[in-house]
Chain A
Amino acid sequence: MSALVEILEPGPFALVVDAGRPGRRGEGIAQGGALDALAYAVLNRLLDNAPHDAAIEALGELCVRFDAPVRLALTGAECRAELDGARVDAWSACDVPPGAILRLRAPVAGARAYLGVSGGFDVPLVLGSRSTDCSGGFGGLEGRALRAGDALRVRRRVPFEPGARRRAKPPQWDFARDAFAAEAMPVRLLPCRELASLAADERDRLYEIRSVSPRSDRMGYRLCGARIANDLPEMRSHAVFPGVVQLPPSGEPILLLADAPATGGYPKAGVAIAADLWKVAQLPAGARLRFQPCGDEEAARARAELAAYLHAIS
């Protein structure tokens, strides 16, 4: 018999995620999956899970009860988690006794917390993934965000070892505080061709400090700040994907994230490098970021650094 995890409080927004559905964009299906793919990858490594085992992504203030012993792990935003009143560190895994209650508070650093269990959460595989596709209304638990009273089954039971604990070194984590300080979080951007057709001073505005609009979601972040006027024509529809920075007529750039639609029509400024997208996912509304132009070599170096960091956790 497998364990059940009951959602007592989901917080502002919590959903079941995994590595998403890349490879089905041609059918209009969003990639989806964990917004902070790095925290999600570390989570499954801490639990000796398969790389695509399902977890919960929450904006903090999540409260769950375990009806049987399980091994859990937490990564991502620092939410001062407590297990039956005792502090649990983020970026660690531990065993919990039956009946235990885990409570996350509002994030003090970062925006998104990941809760995983050994074996992952048991929701049906839909189109190759367990991720919730909220705009498509499928995947995850009944294609929707989690609600109080939901119960998720755990796919694997492990022997309970009280005191067992495992930690991972968090990735460079100071950004969350940096992002609120005078200096904004740097996000490296590979510029694209349309950018060259912008007037020079409009182009420069792209690299000014911007803040994450409250009208942001898993599809993308709207970035407030100096408006970028563009008289570029609406493009013929083309593929878009996480990392693409669009220039809508409003002048506020949009940085697309995991739930981005498969196609779009706005002109593009560039593509944020994959190795920086996890940091973006951890920026709450109001936090600041700044694009920095970069080239292929730097993008490749950043990718390799991230791979080495992940490899060291095992």
Chain B
Amino acid sequence: MSLQVERLGESALVADAGTPETFASQRRMWALARAARQLPGVDDAVIGANNLTLFLREPERWRELERALQAAWKEGAMLETGAARSVEIPVAYGGESGPDAASLARICGMAEAELVILHARPQYVVSFLGFVAGFAYLGGLDERLHAARRAEPRAAVPAGSVAIGGTYTGVYPRSTPGGWHLIGRTEETLFDPRREPPALLAPGDRVRFVPLT
């Protein structure tokens, strides 16, 4: 797995490991992000799907940083990914809490009860954060539940909605527009700006959804 490094705009440096995106490659990306944050002149490091973007204080020194990144990437699995936590999120599936559970089950060709079982079974891993503050993209969704986004995004998705979009599942931290299928809802606070860190989930954390009965 080689790492392509290129500049983007004036001060960003993008490192991309290409495809396929696997758990192993994403794990290496978290480790790379951790290493990159320690490099001098790096203001921020943002993980994507098998890629990492650094924001540089002195963009003219990007070659040095590229070398440091490549060296860190080669160390690969040796790097520390940091302490992953295990988080359980209680979910009320279906009904008013998950208005798309029935329609998504139909799309996936299964009963709603089966959809709930398949969604609550895996231990998910936080791949990266984005979209809105504290929104975690969770990898490990059962392939039978992979589904294109809704044709018509909602103008307002209720806070705490547990949703499926593409190959990911996730929880909307607060009410925002959104195009994912809503299958349930949680009372858990995913993002609290008064907390440090404010986001409940960080890359590498393990997540399990527990159906409320």
Contacts and interface: CB of A to CB of B under 8 A. Distances in A.
Interface of A: 22-30, 126-127, 133, 135-139, 143, 190, 192-193, 236-239, 241, 243-244, 261-264, 268, 270-271, 273-274, 296, 299-300, 303
A271 B10 contact: yes
B35 interface: no
Contact of B133 (A133, A192, A296): A133
A-B pairs with the 10 shortest C-beta distances?
A263-B130, A271-B9, A239-B53, A239-B46, A236-B49, A238-B48, A138-B193, A28-B129, A136-B133, A237-B49
B7 to A, nearest CB: 8
Contacts of A27: 129, 133-134, 197-199, 202
Contact of A26 (B12, B21, B51, B129): B129
Given A23-B44, A236-B51, A244-B9, A28 B132 contact: yes
Given A127-B198, A239-B46, A271-B9, A261 B128 contact: no
A236 B167 CA distance: 11
A26 B46 contact: yes
A300 to B, nearest CB: 8
A81 B37 CA distance: 45
Interface of B: 6, 8-12, 14, 16, 19, 21, 33, 43-51, 53, 55, 60, 128-137, 174, 176, 191, 193-194, 197-199, 202
A25 B44 contact: yes
8 contacts: A25-B44, A26-B33, A28-B130, A135-B133, A237-B48, A237-B130, A239-B46, A299-B10
B174 to A, nearest CB: 6
Contacts of B51: 236, 238-239
B10 A273 contact: yes
A48 B104 CA distance: 58
B191 A136 contact: yes
Contact of B131 (A137, A190, A263): A263
Given A23-B43, A27-B197, A237-B130, A137 B48 contact: no
A300 B16 CA distance: 26
A238 B133 contact: no
Contacts of B53: 238-239
Contacts of B130: 28, 237, 239, 261-264
Nearest to A26: B46
Given A135-B132, A136-B132, A190 B55 contact: no
B185 to A, nearest CB: 18
Contacts of A139: 193
A71 to B, nearest CB: 31
Nearest to B191: A136
A239 B16 CA distance: 11
Given A237-B130, A262-B130, A271 B48 contact: no
A238 B60 CA distance: 22
